[in-house]
Amino acid sequence: MSAFPAISSANILAIVASPGQPSAGELHQRFEPHDGSHAGMTIEIRPVTEADLDAIDPRLGSATFFAERRARQRDERGLLLLAWLSGNAVGCVYIAFEEADEAGLREHLPGVPLMHRLLVVSELRNQGIGSSLVTAAEQAVRARGHAQLALGMDIDNFAAERLYLRLGYHQWLHGLLDTYYIVIENGQEVHVPEQCRVLVKTL
């Protein structure tokens, strides 16, 4: 049985102030659940803090990964947004503001932030949290003066593709992107080549 209550009537509240700039109510945005209801649980989306690191569900990623992304956020190289429900981080998305590793991205989308690791714990999917994380990421990217947001997606990830197309992303015109994924072998990071699709949205 799920450890979490159903949230079909959840409120989803995104707070996407840049870290270190905890300004204003204007950065609080309320997202309505699909069924239009307002009662029930509240999902809060906000940038990770140092204190959060021990509370992140390991299904979202390793402690090492999140500590490393938190460090990049501190250096303003990225932004890690977490979705919280009842004290548990149940979803995440990371936005990279630094230059991409992939030559194709540097050539065709120079300076465009990249969305990585959009993930929602399995028992809370299909209730709007993933879409709200993307919307919160877009808001953060716009607030930093960017006009586009891009992402790389596994060729066969059709569920994620539906979500992105519904939210206004489109496939770029430069074919599949040569990229890599990381595995740890004997304590060392190894880059395994793969190809992915690239989606972009003009914000």
Ligand X SMILES: CC(C)(COP(=O)(O)OP(=O)(O)OC[C@H]1O[C@@H](n2cnc3c(N)ncnc32)[C@H](O)[C@@H]1OP(=O)(O)O)[C@@H](O)C(=O)NCCC(=O)NCCS
Binding site for ligand X (CB under 6 A): 8, 33-35, 118-120, 125-131, 151, 153, 157, 159-160, 162-163, 166
Provide, rounded to whole angstroms, the least separation between the CB of residue 193 and ligand X: 18
Residue nearest to ligand X (CB): 130
Query: Cβ of residue 119: shortest distance to ligand X, in angstroms?
Result: 4
Q: Where are the beta strands (DSSP E) in 51-176?
A: 78-85, 88-96, 114-120, 148-153, 170-171
Q: Which is nearer to ligand X, 7 or 48 (CB)?
A: 7
Q: CA–CA distance from 59 to each of 12, 50, 55, 123, 196 (Å)?
A: 21, 19, 12, 11, 23
* Between 96 and 153, CB nearer to ligand X: 153
Nearer to ligand X, 48 or 153 (CB): 153
Take residue 7 and report the two structure tokens written for it: 């949230």
Distance, in Å, from the CA atom of 160 to the CA atom of 180, rounded to the nearest integer, reads 19
Nearest approach, Cβ of residue 35 and ligand X (Å): 6
Could you give the CA distance from residue 105 to residue 107 in angstroms, rounded to a whole number?
5
- Shortest CB 81 distance to ligand X, Å: 12
The DSSP 8-state label assigned to residue 75 in this structure reads T
**Which residue number, 86 or 126, has a Cβ lying nearer to ligand X?**
126
